[in-house]
DNA sequence: CTACAATGTGTGCACCGTTCACATTAGGCG
DNA sequence: CGCCTAATGTGAACGGTGCACACATTGTAG
């Protein structure tokens, strides 16, 4: 049973490190996320975190994995079981809102190629990817789920990143939401074409 | 007249730093891009670069600005004066190809919110943004240029990033290109709707 | 030719990630 | 209960980093 005492043994350093990392990320951005700062905030010596994380990257990957799960929470909260294009649009809006609510975290999640060695991270991203594909499959049964989910994910992901880079008008959340709705709506009116194009292209990859 | 001698004064340290930074970026990724390593590679003391760049961020911003210009070169090379949806699709393919050809550079370009204080960088990004808007305006005269260029940029940017994160099949350049073409094509078949939706939404932003 | 501004050097400081030997403690086993 | 081992936390140390500072060198304008 973990306890955050002031005794020699912390009790649950692993969780405390994660929490401290999240706080530092929100306060100073990814620049302030140092292993030593995490240790300081957790009230522990600089090298103690190495008992729970192989290196800095492992910690960051854990933070990223937590971010993926939180993002999934945003999406399911927007609509628990999306079945119509409007439902899917609501999910898309939630995706961009998550990015704007947690900009530093979102950047960390996609800053580097996902380390294939980190099981927790791979699992979290796979779950998210599968979740998106599932929604698309349910919403557009006639479309190629892979192709369409890729397209819609890319569109929403791109909107999120352009917003993070300040390249789009993000004055109010409503402006952002409208932008996302407009863009996604444009895609959906063409969804039958996506289906058709994806299934009628035999010359995809010969290698 | 600059000269890369072995004399006390380097001749053109600024350009040499930029070149060294680019090399380090391609060799070791953004992790290896340290000011000291740049100085070493340029054959100069660790603090010499400070005569030409205020700090590490300034160097990185310069590299990013160079990247923006190079990206613009890719795009214009794909089609000097895009006038049809197919032309625009070719430009989109070139965008993603640039990201895959220069993954570390592309990440640097979009890793942090663009520093508004760095004039060179702001200028380069503005030029790129305006270029995209111009293409869209020429290709789809009836559409809202802002809305459509945002959408198509987001879609392509998202595809590029998902590829960089290894979340999409990038086995061969042709597979990637097909993917981009399919996604962009899907958008374009809906472009009249974008135009209609964008102009028929008076409740955009009241603030 | 000389003074000055531009440019490069060296030292030093604080911080970082990481390793290693060591201290402390929890929990199982007698 | 008491002991032993594995888990967990500490401290010093090493090489690397960004950056500020005083100083050295040199191109160039007057």
Q: Is the pLDDT of residue A48 over 80?
A: yes
pLDDT, position B166: 82
Q: Is the CB of B206 under 7 A from strand D?
A: no
pLDDT, position B72: 96
Alpha carbon of A186: minimum distance to chain B alpha carbons (Å)? 5
Q: Is the pLDDT of residue B198 over 50?
A: no
Of all nucleotides, the one whose C1′ comes closest to residue A34's CA is C16
Considering chain B, what is the average pLDDT of its residues? 87
How many Å apart are A61 CA and C12 C1'? Answer: 35
pLDDT, position B11: 79
Q: pLDDT above 70 covers what percent of chain B? A: 88
Long-range contacts for B40-44 (Cβ within 8 Å, ≥24 apart)? B42/B10, B42/B13, B42/B16, B42/B17, B43/B6, B43/B10, B44/B10, B44/B13, B44/B16
Helix (H, G, I), strand (E, B) or coil at B56: helix
Winning range, highest mean pLDDT, from A30-44, A106-120, B117-131, B135-149: A30-44
- pLDDT category at B1 given cuts 50, 70, 90 is very low
Q: Is the pLDDT of residue A203 over 50?
A: no
Q: To 10 degrees, the CA torsion angle through B81, B84, B87, B92?
A: 110
Average pLDDT over residues A51-55: 97
Q: Is the pLDDT of residue A23 over 70?
A: yes
Which position has the higher pLDDT, A198 or A167? A167
Residues A91 and A126: their CA atoms lie apart, in Å, by 18
CB contact under 8 A, B161 and A164: no
Q: Is the pLDDT of residue B4 over 60?
A: no
Residues B181 and A206: their CA atoms lie apart, in Å, by 17
Average pLDDT over residues A146-159: 93
Q: Is the pLDDT of residue B204 over 80?
A: no
Q: Is the pLDDT of residue B2 over 50?
A: no
Kindly report, residue by residue over B97-120, the tens digit of the pLDDT.
999 999 999 999 998 877 778 889
- pLDDT category at B6 given cuts 50, 70, 90 is low
Residue with CA nearest C1' of nucleotide C10? B45
> What sign does the CA torsion over A43, A49, A55, A58 have?
negative
Of all nucleotides, the one whose C1′ comes closest to residue A33's CA is C16
Tokens found for residue A140? 């557009």
Kindly report, residue by residue over A82-100, the tens digit of the pLDDT.
999 999 999 999 999 999 9
From the list A172, A198, A205, the residue facing B172 with the nearest CB is A205
Tokens found for residue A41? 């905030």
pLDDT, position B188: 83
Q: Is the pLDDT of residue A159 over 70?
A: yes
Which position has the higher pLDDT, A204 or B95? B95
Q: Is the CB of A13 under 7 A from strand D?
A: yes
Alpha carbon of A195: minimum distance to chain B alpha carbons (Å)? 9
- pLDDT category at A190 given cuts 50, 70, 90 is low
Q: Are B180 and B90 in contact (CB under 8 A)?
A: no
From the list B114, B193, B204, the residue facing A186 with the nearest CB is B193
Number of neighbouring beta carbons within 10 Å of residue B201 = 13
Q: Is the pLDDT of residue A47 over 50?
A: yes
pLDDT, position B7: 76
- The pTM (predicted TM-score) of the whole model is 0.89
How many residue pairs bridge chain A and chain B with CB atoms within 8 Å of each other? 141
Residue to test with chain A: of B110, B124, B154, most A Cβ within 10 A? B154
Of all nucleotides, the one whose C1′ comes closest to residue A39's CA is D9
Q: Is the pLDDT of residue A205 over 60?
A: no
pLDDT, position B35: 98
- Can you tell me which residue has the tokens 């995490």? A38
pLDDT, position A198: 45
Kindly report, residue by residue over B41-90, the tens digit of the pLDDT.
999 999 999 999 999 999 999 999 999 999 999 999 999 999 999 999 99
- pLDDT category at B16 given cuts 50, 70, 90 is very high
Q: Are B188 and B151 in contact (CB under 8 A)?
A: no
CB contact under 8 A, A154 and B158: yes
Tokens found for residue A150? 């890729």
Task: Give the distance, in angstroms, between the CA of residue A170 and the centroid of all CA atoms in the same chain.
Answer: 19
Average pLDDT over residues A31-35: 94
Q: Is the CB of A51 under 7 A from strand D?
A: yes
CB contact under 8 A, B204 and A166: no
Do you know the residue count of chain A? 207
- Minimum CA–CA partner of A168 in chain B: B150
Could you tell me which residues come within 8 angstroms of residue B14 by beta carbon, excluding any fewer than 6 positions away? B52, B53
pLDDT, position A8: 67
Q: Is the CB of B55 under 7 A from strand D?
A: yes
CB contact under 8 A, A185 and B205: no
Q: Is the CB of A31 under 7 A from strand D?
A: no
Considering chain A, what is the average pLDDT of its residues? 87
CB < 7 A to strand C: residues 20-49, chain A: 33-37, 46-47
- In chain B, which residue ranges form alpha helices assigned H by DSSP? 13-28, 35-41, 56-78, 85-101, 103-111, 119-139, 145-164, 173-188, 191-199
């Amino acid at each position: 049973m973990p306890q955050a005492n002031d005794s020699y043994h912390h009790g649950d350093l692993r969780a405390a490190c994660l929490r401290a990392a999240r706080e530092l990320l929100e306060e100073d951005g990814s620049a302030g996320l140092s292993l030593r700062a995490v240790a300081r905030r957790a009230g522990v010596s600089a090298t103690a975190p190495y008992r729970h994380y192989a290196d800095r990257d492992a910690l960051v990957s854990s933070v990223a994995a937590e971010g993926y799960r939180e993002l999934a929470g945003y999406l399911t909260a927007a609509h628990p079981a999306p079945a119509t294009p409007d439902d899917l649009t609501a999910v898309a809006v939630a995706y961009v809102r998550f990015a704007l609510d947690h900009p530093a975290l979102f950047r960390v999640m996609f800053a580097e190629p996902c380390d294939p060695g980190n099981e927790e991270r791979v699992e979290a991203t796979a779950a998210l990817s599968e979740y998106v594909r599932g929604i698309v499959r349910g919403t557009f049964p006639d479309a190629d789920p892979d192709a369409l989910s890729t397209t819609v994910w890319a569109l929403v992901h791109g909107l999120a990143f352009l917003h993070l880079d300040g390249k789009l008008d993000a004055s109010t959340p409503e402006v952002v939401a409208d932008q996302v709705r407009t863009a996604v709506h444009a895609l959906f009116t063409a969804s039958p074409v996506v289906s058709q194009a994806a299934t009628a292209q035999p010359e995809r990859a010969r290698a």
